[in-house]
Amino acid sequence: MLNNIQIILVGITHPGNIGAAARAMKTMGLSQLRLVQPKHFPCAEATARATGADDILVNAQCFETFEESLRNCHIIFGASVRQRAIAWPTLTPKACAEKALECADNVAIVFGREQSGLTNQELELCNYLVTIPTNPTFCSLNVAAAVQILAYELRIKHEELKIKNDNSSAKTVFPKFHPPASAEAIAQFYQHLEQALIDIDFLKPQNPRQLMRHLHRLFNRVQLLDSEVSLLRGILTAAQKSVQDTKKTD
């Protein structure tokens, strides 16, 4: 459940980042924000950057210490871009999302300070380190951008689980607004195409080269819809008609 996931931001100095993180969360369906010693909060800049996600800021809980902010959380993931000297159990963002959504209880995903991230003491309180892959020569990921990436992976996993649950409870029926063309319709289209190309004198029956093969290869790639076959055949008929007109006037 996305509602069980607590996003914890530790020691953020720029309030804009808190607002941007709230917006990142809400776009992906997260709602629970906890703040540890934010330098400025509440703050107009945070609200401005949240643009519509200010409910998350209003409901955000503030804590004096990191330990307190972990209240009621059963699994704690610490986000990092750096490879730490100490070997830590490290997850990808995707694996973190899977583990977080498997858990029926509250989990915390923790993001550290803009300049220095989480301290080793803070990491020691985490069950897992989540490492976001970055360019090794420039790993300066903005904290709200890091929240966005984790929130995105959570959304992806959440939607996968939802589809899985929907399929198991009741069969989902996808309405077919755009039916693909049948094999017969496609075959008739190719016949029509070949005749039209002969009529406009582009295809010479005595020397067809590889022409129709190339056109098959092209149109087979598209998986034409019924409506598209009708459209293309309408064009062919119009082209044929113009040639017939020529012949009449000859």
Which residue ranges make up the site for a copy of itself (CB under 8 A)? 20, 23-24, 26-29, 51-53, 81, 87, 93, 132-135, 138-142, 144-145, 148-149, 152, 155-156, 159, 177-178, 197, 199-202, 211, 214-215, 218-219, 221-224, 227-228, 231-232, 234-235, 238-239, 241-243, 245-246, 249-250
Nearest CB to a copy of itself, comparing residues 69 and 153: 153
b/e code 145-175 from CB counts within 10 Å (16+ = b): ebbbbbbbbbbebbeeeeeeeeeeeeeeeee
CA torsion, ordered 150, 15, 113, 126, to nearest 10 deg: -50
Please, what is the minimum distance in Å from the beta carbon of residue 101 to a copy of itself?
Answer: 14
Pick 171 or 247: Cβ nearer a copy of itself: 247
Residue pointed to by tokens 């995105």: 152
Least CB distance to a copy of itself at residue 30 (A): 8
Cβ proximity to a copy of itself, 23 vs 113, nearer residue: 23
Nearer to a copy of itself, 19 or 66 (CB): 19
Nearest to a copy of itself of 64, 87 (CB atom): 87
Give the shortest CB-131-to-a copy of itself separation in angstroms. 12
Taking the C-alpha atoms of residue 93 and residue 90, their distance in angstroms, rounded to an integer, is 10
CA Rg value for the chain: 29
Q: Are 101 and 157 in contact (CB under 8 A)?
A: yes
Query: Within 10 A of 243 (CB to CB), how many other CB atoms are there?
Result: 14
Q: Provide, rounded to whole angstroms, the least separation between the CB of residue 179 and a copy of itself.
A: 11
Task: Calculate the CA 134 to chain-centre distance.
Answer: 18
Tokens 């959440």 locate to 158
Instruction: Give least dist CB 63 to a copy of itself, A.
Output: 26
